Structure 1
Amino acid sequence: MAFITAHWGLDGIIVLTTLMIAVYLYMTRKLNYWKKRGVTEVVSPTLFLGNFTDCVLFKKSPGHLIKDFYDRAKGLPYAGFFILNKPALLIRDRELVKNILVKDFSNFENRYGSPDTKDRLGYANLFFINNPAWKILRTKLSPIFTSGKLKKMFELMLVCAQNLDTYLESLKLEGKGKELETKDLAAKFATDMIGVTAYGLNVNSLNNPDAEFRRHGKKIFEYSYIRGFEMLSIFFFPSLVRWTRMRVFGKDSSVFLRKAFWDTLLQRIESGTKRHDLIDILIELKKNHVDQDLNGIKFDGDDLVAQAAIFFTGGYETSSSTVSFTLYELAMYPEVQNRLRKEIHNALKENNNKVTYDMIMSLPYLDMVVSEILRKYPPLPFLDRVAGDTYKVPDSDLVLEKDTPIYVSMLGMHYDPEYFPDPDKFDPERFNEENKHNIPSCAYFPFGEGPRICIGTRLGLLQSKLGLVTILNKYEVTPSKKTLIPMVLDPRGTTTTALGGGVYLNLRRLNIST
C-alpha cells in the first residue's frame, strides 16, 4: 500500500506536484518586494533567474546588464532589481552614491559578492575580505604604495620597459609592421612588472611564452563558459559559491601561486635580502603576528599567500586592459596618437632621452588619454556593497533591510551624457585642466571611491603609462584585419574584456630618431 493513496504512481504525482509548488512559492515569495516599498523596477523579473537571465545565458555581461538598468532608470534616484530571487538596489543618484561609498561607508563597508570564506586564497585578500579584517589589511599594506616606494620600484620597472623595447626590436616591425595581439603583449609586460616589483622575480614572460606566471595569469582571466559562470557567481551568487566550493583562482593556479610565493618568501628569509617590496612587508607581518588571529585573518598560510595572489592578478588584468584599450583607441584616432607621441618625444628630449618617474608622471596629455580610456573601459564596470544594518535612504521613505545588495553602475555613470556629452566618443579633452574640474564628484571613479578605493591605483597607472611610453616612443599602431571595429566586449567577462580576449592591431616601427 502507498503512503498517501492506494497507488504508488498517484503518490509520486502528489509528491512531485507539492515539491514544484513549494519551489515556485519559495522562488516567487519576494518578487513583489520592491513594489511593496514603492521602488520602481525598470525590468520585470522572471521566475528563478530574476533579472539575470541574459547574464546566465552569456548574452550580456553583468557590467552591461547593470548599465542597462541605469539607463532605463533615467530620472530616478534608484531602482530595484532581482539577483535570482534576491532583491537588490541600483543606486543612480550621485549624492546617494557618495553616501553609500563615502559618507555612510561604515554601514556599507563590505562587498555583496564574495568567495567561499573557506577559500582563503580567494577570500582573505584586500579586495574581498570583510571588515574589520579589511581595515587591518589595508593599514598593513598601504606602505607599499607610497610615492617613495613607487620611486624605488620604478628602477625595477625600467628594466621591464627595456626588455619590452628589446622584445619589440626583435620582432622586426620596420616597413609595414606586423599584426600583434596587444592584450597579450601588454599582459606579458604587466606580468614581468609585477613579478619584479612584488616578488623580486625575473619572470621573463616576454621572451618565454610558456612562463608559469604568464600561463596562470591568462588562465585566471580566461573567460570560458565555465570560468565565466564561476566569476559571475562570485560577484552575484555568493550562496551558490559557498555551496559548490568554487575557487577564485582555480585549483591549478592556486597550487602554483602557493608554491611561487613560499619559494620566494623562504629564499628571502634565508638570504636576509631586503628589497622593500610586498614580500618584505609580508615577511614582517608573519614575524610580528605569528599564531595571532586578527579579527578573522592570520598572517600565515593561505591568508598570507592571498595578499601576494591578489596583488598579482589585480595588477596584471588592470594594466594589460588599460594599455591594450589605449592602443586600440589611438589606432582609431591617429591625430590623438600623434599628439601624444609628440608629447613623449618632447619630454624625452628635455630629459636627455632618459625615462624617469617624474617624467612619466608629468605628461599631461598622457594622463588625459589614460583617464578617458578608464572612463570608456573601467576594469571592473560596477561596484557592489551590502547593507551592514538597516538604513534609511536620505530624502526618501525607503528603508533598506540589513544584507540588501547595493550596486553602482560605474559604466552607466561614465557613459551618462549628463556628465560626459557624446559619451561613445573617445575624447581625452574631457580631462584637460579646465574640463576635469567640471566633472561632478562620484560621476567618474574607475578605481572605486571612498575608503575602499583600489589601493594599487597609483602603481597600476604608473606601469600602464610606462608601457605606453615605451611602445609609442618608437612605434605606430593602426587597425589590422582582425581589429574589432567597433570594439565588442565579451559577454562572459565580469571584468571589461574584448570579445575573445584579444585586441589585434598593427604595430610599425617609425623611421625617426628619438
Structure 2
Amino acid sequence: MAFITAYWSLDGIIVLMTFILTVYFYMTYKFNYWKKRGVLHALPISIFGNFTDCLLLKRSPGYLLKDIYDQGKGMPYVGFYILDKPFLMIRDRNLIKNVLIKDFNYFNDRYCTPDITDSLAYTNLFFIKNPTWKLLRTKLTPNFTSRKLKQTFELMLKCSDNLDTYLESLSLEDKDVELEMKDLSSKFFMNIIATTAFGLNVDSLNNPDNEFRKYGKQIFEIGILHGYDFLMVLFIPSLVHFMSAKVYNKKVTDFLRNLFWQTITERIKSGEKRNDFIDIFIELKTSYGDQNSETGFKFDGDHLLAQAASFFAASFETSSTTVSFTLYELAKHPEIQDRLRKEILDALDQTDGKITYDMVLSLSYLDMVVSEVLRMYPALPFLDRVTTETYKIPDSDLVLEKNTPISISLLGVHYDPEYFPNPDEFDPERFTEENKRNRSSYVYLPFGDGPHTCIGIRMGLLQVKLGIITILRKYEVIPSEKTLIPMVIEPTSSMTAPLGGTIYLNVHKINNNGN
C-alpha cells in the first residue's frame, strides 16, 4: 500500500504536483511587489518573471530591457522581474541623472557580481564594490590623461602599421575580397592591448593562433555555456556560485597570471620604460603594494592583475565590435563612407600622410559617425545599479528598499523617438555640435555617466578611430552575399554582438585619389 493512496503511481503524481505548485508559489509570491507600490510593471509570464526568453537564450537581455522600456512609455519608471527579484527600470532622464550623478551615494555599486573565486573579475574596477572601488578608481584615473594617451598612442601606431601591412599582403587591388570584419578588427585590437597593457609585441594578424589571442577569445566567445555565465553574473548574482559562472575561466586566469608577473619581473629587472600600462602597474605596486586598505585590497597579486585583465577583456572586445558595426553601416551607406574618407584623406594631406594623435582627434565627421554607431550599437546595452540605502524617488511616493536592482536601458533611450527621431536610421548628423547642444541631457550614454563613467573612454575612442582611419584611407567596404541586412543581434550574448559574432563585408583597395 502506498503512503497517500492505494497506488504508488497516484502517490507519485500527487507528490510531483505538490512540488511543482510549491515551487510555483515560492517563485511567484513576489509578483505583486510593484503592484502594491502603485508602479506600472511588465507582467511576468512564468516563474522566471520577465526573463524567460533570455534564460532560454532566445533574446539578448539588452533588447528585452528595451522592450520593457518601451512598455513604460510616458512613465518615469517601470517595474519588472528577473526570476522572483523585483527590478526597477528608470526611464525619466532626470531620474537617470539622479541615479548616475546627483544621488550617486545611494547608487554607488553595480548590481552585477562575479563569484568571489573568480578573482580577476571580482576585484577589477568594473565589478568591485565600494569603498574599495573609490580607492581603486582614484589611483587609476590619473593614468588616462591626454599626456599619457599621447605616449601610448605611439605604441598603437605600430599596430596600425601592422594592420596596413597585413591588408597590403591580401592584394585587394581591382577585386572584391570578402573579409570577416569582427575577426579582422579583434586581431588588430588584440595587438594593441598586448602591447599597451602587457608590454608584448604579438602579431595576431599573421599569427592568429598565438596564445594571447587564443585565451582572449575565450572571455567573450559566443556560445550557450558562456551565455549563461554572463547572464548569472549580470542579472542573477545569487546563483553565480551555484552555477559556477565565471568571467575568466581557470585556463585564462592561469595564462594571464603567468604572463603578467613574468612581464612585471622582467621589466623591473631591466628598468625599461615603454609608456605602457606595465609601467603604471609597476608604479602602483611600488608605491602602494604594501598598503592594505580597510577592505584588504592592495596593489599586488591578483588584485593588481585584475586591473590588467579588465583592460584586456574590455578593450579589444568593445573596440572590435564598434569598428565592425561602423564598417557595416558605412558599407550600407556609401555616401557617408565617401564623405568620411574624404575627411581622412584631407587630414592626411596636412600631415604628409602620417597619422598623428592630434590629427585623429581633429576629425569631426569621424567623431559623428562613431557616436552614431555607439548610439545604435552600444557595446553594453544597459547600465545597472543597486540601492545601497533606502531611497525615496523625488516627487513621488515610491520608496525603494535597500538592495533594489536598478536598470537603465541604453537601447531604450538611444532609440526613443522623443530624443532621436527616426531612431532606426543611421544618421551621423545627429551629432553635429548644434544637435548635441539642442538634445536633452542624459539620453546618450554609451559609456555611462557620473563617477562610474568608463575610465577608458578616451583610449577606447582613440583606438577605434585609429582602426577606422587605417582601413578607410586605402580601402572601400561594401556589402557581400553574407552581409546581414538588416542586422540580427546574437541572442546568447549579453553584449551587443552580431549574429554568430560575425560581420562579412567585401573589401577592395581604392586608388590614390580615393575613387
Name structure 1 gaps, 5 residues minimum: none
Opposite residue 477 of structure 1, the aligned amino acid is V
Instruction: Please name the residue that 2:229 is paired with.
Output: 230
After TM superposition, list the pairs within 5 Å mapping 1:429-440 onto structure 2. 429-440=429-440
The answer on 1:83 being equivalent to 2:86 is no
- Contact 1:27/1:47 (8 A) holds in 2: no
The answer on 1:455 being equivalent to 2:455 is yes
After TM superposition, list the pairs within 5 Å mapping 1:467-506 onto structure 2. 467-506=467-506
Q: Quote the Cα distance in structure 1 between the aligned partners of 2:6 and 2:485.
A: 68
Instruction: Please name the residue that 1:245 is paired with.
Output: 244
Instruction: Please name the residue that 2:261 is paired with.
Output: 262
After TM superposition, list the pairs within 5 Å mapping 1:112-511 onto structure 2. 112-294=111-293, 295-511=295-511
The answer on 1:106 being equivalent to 2:110 is no
Distance 1:397 1:270, change over 3 A: same
Q: Tell me by how many angstroms 1:13 deviates.
A: 6.8
Instruction: Please name the residue that 1:512 is paired with.
Output: 512
Q: Tell me by how many angstroms 1:22 deviates.
A: 3.4
Provide the aligned length of Structure 1 versus Structure 2: 513
- Contact 2:195/2:202 (8 A) holds in 1: yes
Distance 1:215 1:492, change over 3 A: same
Distance 1:38 1:167, change over 3 A: same
Q: Tell me by how many angstroms 1:117 deviates.
A: 2.2
Q: Quote the Cα distance in structure 2 between the aligned partners of 1:126 and 1:161.
A: 28
- Contact 2:230/2:245 (8 A) holds in 1: no
Q: Quote the Cα distance in structure 2 between the aligned partners of 1:17 and 1:480.
A: 54
Instruction: Please name the residue that 1:24 is paired with.
Output: 24
* Residue range with higher mean Cα deviation, 256-265 or 353-362: 256-265
The answer on 1:46 being equivalent to 2:45 is yes
Q: Tell me by how many angstroms 1:12 deviates.
A: 6.7
Q: Quote the Cα distance in structure 2 between the aligned partners of 1:13 and 1:181.
A: 54
Q: Quote the Cα distance in structure 2 between the aligned partners of 1:376 and 1:424.
A: 8
SS for the counterpart of 2:27 is helix
Opposite residue 82 of structure 1, the aligned amino acid is Y
- Contact 2:195/2:276 (8 A) holds in 1: no
Q: What CA deviation, in whole Å up to 9, does each residue of 1:378-422 have, x standing for no partner?
A: 000000000001100011110000000000000110011110101
Q: What CA deviation, in whole Å up to 9, does each residue of 1:458-494 have, x standing for no partner?
A: 0000001011111000000000111011111101111
Opposite residue 124 of structure 1, the aligned amino acid is T
**TM-score of the pair, normalised by structure 1:** 0.96
Name structure 2 gaps, 5 residues minimum: none
- Contact 1:144/1:277 (8 A) holds in 2: no
Q: Tell me by how many angstroms 1:440 deviates.
A: 1.1
Q: Tell me by how many angstroms 1:286 deviates.
A: 2.2
- Contact 1:490/1:497 (8 A) holds in 2: yes
Distance 1:165 1:288, change over 3 A: same
Opposite residue 376 of structure 1, the aligned amino acid is M
Q: Tell me by how many angstroms 1:513 deviates.
A: 5.2
- Contact 2:163/2:205 (8 A) holds in 1: yes
Opposite residue 166 of structure 2, the aligned amino acid is Y
Q: Quote the Cα distance in structure 1 between the aligned partners of 2:18 and 2:485.
A: 53
Q: Tell me by how many angstroms 1:11 deviates.
A: 7.7
After TM superposition, list the pairs within 5 Å mapping 1:1-40 onto structure 2. 19-40=19-40
SS for the counterpart of 1:437 is helix
Q: What CA deviation, in whole Å up to 9, does each residue of 1:160-199 have, x standing for no partner?
A: 1111100000000011220000111110111111111122
Q: Quote the Cα distance in structure 1 between the aligned partners of 2:197 and 2:258.
A: 15
Q: Quote the Cα distance in structure 2 between the aligned partners of 1:467 and 1:24.
A: 51
Q: Quote the Cα distance in structure 2 between the aligned partners of 1:494 and 1:308.
A: 22
- Contact 2:60/2:492 (8 A) holds in 1: yes
Q: Quote the Cα distance in structure 1 between the aligned partners of 2:54 and 2:44.
A: 13
SS for the counterpart of 2:183 is helix
Q: Quote the Cα distance in structure 2 between the aligned partners of 1:14 and 1:336.
A: 66
Q: What CA deviation, in whole Å up to 9, does each residue of 1:192-234 have, x standing for no partner?
A: 1111112211011111110222222222111201111111111
SS for the counterpart of 1:358 is helix
SS for the counterpart of 1:444 is coil
Report % sequence identity.
63
Opposite residue 64 of structure 1, the aligned amino acid is Y
Q: Tell me by how many angstroms 1:15 deviates.
A: 5.9
SS for the counterpart of 1:396 is coil
Opposite residue 256 of structure 1, the aligned amino acid is F
CA RMSD in angstroms, aligned pairs only: 1.9
- Contact 2:177/2:507 (8 A) holds in 1: yes
Q: Quote the Cα distance in structure 1 between the aligned partners of 2:301 and 2:471.
A: 39
Q: Quote the Cα distance in structure 1 between the aligned partners of 2:325 and 2:183.
A: 12
SS for the counterpart of 2:407 is strand
- Contact 1:387/1:406 (8 A) holds in 2: yes
Q: Quote the Cα distance in structure 2 between the aligned partners of 1:2 and 1:304.
A: 62
**TM-score of the pair, normalised by structure 2:** 0.96
SS for the counterpart of 2:473 is helix
Opposite residue 272 of structure 1, the aligned amino acid is G
- Contact 2:326/2:373 (8 A) holds in 1: yes
Q: Quote the Cα distance in structure 1 between the aligned partners of 2:11 and 2:424.
A: 60
Q: Tell me by how many angstroms 1:48 deviates.
A: 2.2
Q: Tell me by how many angstroms 1:94 deviates.
A: 0.4
